[in-house]
Amino acid sequence: MRALLPIAFLIAAAPVAAQRPTSDSARLVITQAGNPIGTEDFAFRSGTGGEGAALSFVATTAGGTDPLRVAVTTGQRRITVRVASRAGEAAREYPGGAQAVVADERVLSLYALLAHVDPGPVTVYGPPPGGRRTGTLEDGGTESPVGGAPPLRRLTLRSGEDIARVWLDDSGRLMRVEIPSRNLTAERVNRP
């Protein structure tokens, strides 16, 4: 598919609050240095489960050599990630919690779930060799995009040298993701 920094699965088991959508679905177009390299379709919903507040997320990537289907479920105690590709299927579990972030280098649409993470310190779990590390989610306030579009809320996730910028609309829906170190952008194409 494409080589990205290990920072794309973003999950939290925080209760749904204002500015946190209970469901969303969209298509993202992924570009690198301005050139289209793939698309991602995603859908998620939040609600309650056996562990209290829960999120359920499914994304499918297209483009590149190995499309993926990713399913994520979260709860207060654990986060389960299932990845299916042509090579097979794998599953992982991570400790849950309101400020847990899980990272994988292949799916940018999971940044949609940042709307469910409060700004401040986060624990970032990544596939080997990344392991567990600390990070910070910063709220950059609102910005007005070019062309008179409505203002968007900007979040920045920092973990060591890794930086990801995310823009959400006033309903908390993912509109754009940028990974500056890789010159990657994911842009929503079916706006709400």
* Confidence at residue 105, expressed as pLDDT on a 0 to 100 scale: 63
120 lies in some domain: yes
Residue 40 scores a pLDDT above 90: yes
Query: Are 37 and 65 in contact, with CB atoms under 8 Å apart?
Result: no
Rounded mean pLDDT, 91-109: 79
Take residue 46 and report the two structure tokens written for it.
């939040």
Take residue 128 and report the two structure tokens written for it.
């080997």
Count of the separate structural domains present in the chain: 1
pLDDT in tens, 146-188: 777 889 999 999 988 889 999 999 999 999 999 998 899 999 9
13 lies in some domain: no
Residue 56 scores a pLDDT above 50: yes
104 lies in some domain: yes
9 lies in some domain: no
pLDDT, the chain, mean: 80
Q: Which residues contact 129 (CB under 8 A, 6 or more apart)?
A: none
148 lies in some domain: yes
Is the bond leading into 129 cis (omega within 30 degrees of zero)? yes
pTM of the model: 0.81
pLDDT in tens, 65-86: 788 888 888 777 888 888 898 9
* Confidence at residue 12, expressed as pLDDT on a 0 to 100 scale: 41
107 lies in some domain: yes
Q: Tell me the residue range of the domain where 158 lies.
A: 23-188
Rounded mean pLDDT, 42-63: 78
Query: When comparing pLDDT for 4 and 37, which is higher?
Result: 37
HEC profile of the chain: CCCCCCCCCCCCCCCCCCCCCCEEEEEEEEEECCEEEEEEEEEEEEEEECCEEEEEEEEEEECCCCCCEEEEEECCCEEEEEEEECCEEEEEEEECCCCEEECCCCCCHHHHHHHHCCCEEEEEEECCCCEEEEEEEEEEEEECCCCCCCCEEEEEEEECCEEEEEEECCCCCEEEEEEHHHCEEEEECCCC
3 lies in some domain: no
135 lies in some domain: yes
